[in-house]
Structure 1
Amino acid sequence: MKQFNPIQQTLTLVKKDLVLELRQKYAFYGVLLYIVSTVFVINLMIDRPEEKMWNAMFWVILLFVCVNAVAKSFLQENRGRLLNFYSLVHPRCFIAAKLIYNILLMSLMSVIALVCSVIFLGNPIISMGYFFGVVLLGGVSLSILFTMLAAIAAQANQNAALMAIMGFPLIMPLLMLLANISRSAFITVYQPGLPKMFFLLGGLDLLIIALAMILFPFLWKD
């Protein structure tokens, strides 16, 4: 693969992950079962929650979906396979491919989680188009953050607990930001400061991507 340019290397790695996901369908169906069962259990416990609780529970569900779906992208790679990739591809191409693949996967999972939540928990959303867009943005943000955390944890003897410990102080501000942005979908009154929160979310995503591109080559060497 060394004769390929960076774009070709990245796309080849993305294709590799897609092929593996299609072959190992149990992983995808496992996350899908987690989404459906979690939303169904919430429905059995509290039936149709009010707007604020519905919004809060949806983002908590999406958080744990992201942990299950994205974390395995690095944790499933053993040392031998990583060593093989180290000799074939550039580290930035490798992390870029993981980011792209996890963004695609989490976007799909976010849509599935939204559909299941509307079916089982009711639909208190006033502006569905706006909320759908925020859900996609939130899925992208969560996937970017946990891809970076999974990359770090993978270099620490595949320690998934390390990812959870590092992720807690980072994920709380992101979840609060997403919950505040999505709140406008449940009300008809304009929410002040909304554009600033979108810029903050976009800036946070760009910062994490930049850190991943800068730091991952050093992690890769270890």
Structure 2
Amino acid sequence: MKKEILLEWRQRYAINGILLYLVSTIFICYLSFNVKANQLNPVTWNTIFWIIILFTSISAIAKSFIQEKQERYLYYYWLLKPQVLITARIIYNGLLMLILGLAGFIIYAIVLGNPIQDVTLFILNLVLASISFSSALTMISAIASKANSNQTLMAILGFPVILPMLLMIIKVSKNALDGLPRDASYSEIATLLAINLIIGAVSYLLFPYIWRS
């Protein structure tokens, strides 16, 4: 994790590019919906926010393994265990997505308004979403890095995994927008936690086989 943070700090153009993408997308939404003239519908607000976060996640996490050169893989192979590498990447990407998600939410709420009635539940949902996107997309990035058309393969593999997560995330955030009792979201939150545990366990067990190839 320390290595990932140091590399990200030295190569700040990558994180700066992602932040620029995040801010510019929100600003385009502001111009397109003309928020000054009419208040944005909460359902539309919620949908656009998660679309922005999803594509930001893909941009941020796709580089986890795809950007690595074969020589560096060989160096990692002799330096550490594969379980250590995949765990560190998932944790780091989760923290990165949490920072980007919170920054995106603050900017989005300032520019397009904040119709959320239960902010605590929405932030909790954002934390779970960051973990979910990180655990799923990190492993998919590792699989896609072994193919020639890795970006295309990542999109193909990522869609069926991310879609059920995204549906539950959107439902929980909709409950937060409407101010519904928190127990109405418990089943979706429990399901998200279960999916994260399953993906984390599968990544921990199967990544060594991908690593050896």
TM-score (norm 1): 0.90
Q: Are the equivalent residues in 1 in contact too, given 2:129–2:169 (CA < 8 A)?
A: yes
Query: Displacement of 1:189 after TM fit?
Result: 3.4
Write out per-residue CA displacement over residues 96-146 of structure 1, whole angstroms, 9 at most, x where no aligned residue: 111111011111001011011101111111112221121121111111111
Distance 2:6 2:194 in 1: 32
Using the alignment, how far apart are the partners of 1:97 and 1:131 within structure 2?
A: 26
Q: Does 1:105 align with 2:101?
A: no
Amino acid of the structure 1 residue aligned with 2:92 = Y
Quote the residue 2:207 is aligned against.
216
Out of 26, 41, 47, the position equivalent to 2:13 is 26
Identity of aligned residues (%): 39
Alignment-mate amino acid for residue 41 of structure 1: I
Deviations 1:33-89 (A, max 9, x none): 000000000110013421011111111110000011111111111111001101111
Equivalent residue for 1:7? Answer: none
Deviation of 1:188 (Å): 3.0
Match in the other structure for 1:116? 107
- Equivalences for 1:1-222 in 2 at 5 Å? 14-48=1-35, 49-157=40-148, 159-190=150-181, 193-222=184-213
CA drift at 1:192: 6.5
The answer to whether the Cα contact below 8 Å between 1:35 and 1:116 also exists between their aligned partners in 2 is no
Which 4+ runs in 1 deviate beyond 2 A? 188-193
- Output the amino acid matched with 2:114: N
Asked if structure 2 preserves the Cα contact closer than 8 Å seen for 1:55 and 1:183, the reply is yes
Deviation at residue 194 of structure 1 after TM alignment? 1.8
Distance 2:65 2:120 in 1: 33
On the 8 A contact 1:110/1:139 being kept in 2, the answer is: yes
The alpha carbon displacement at 1:211 in A equals: 0.7
**CA RMSD, 1 decimal:** 1.3
Q: Is the contact made by 2:116 and 2:179 (CA closer than 8 Å) also made in structure 1? A: no
The CA distance in 2 between the partners of 1:175 and 1:155, in whole Å, is 26
Q: Aligned letter for 2:160?
A: P
Secondary structure in 1 matching 2:121: helix
Amino acid at match of 1:19: L
Shift of 1:28: 0.7
Aligned residue identity for 1:46: F
- Is there any run of 5+ residues in structure 2 with no aligned partner, and where? none
- Which amino acid is 1:160 matched to? Q
- Higher mean alpha-carbon deviation, 200-209 vs 117-126, is at 117-126
C-alpha distance in structure 2 between counterparts of 1:53 and 1:191, whole Å = 22
Alpha carbons 2:121, 2:182 under 8 Å: kept: no
Partner of 1:8: none
In 2: Cα distance, 1:158 partner to 1:66 partner: 19
CA distance in structure 2 between the partners assigned to 1:65 and 1:137 by the alignment: 16
Letter in 1 for 2:5: L
Point out where structure 1 has 5 or more consecutive residues left out of the alignment: 1-13
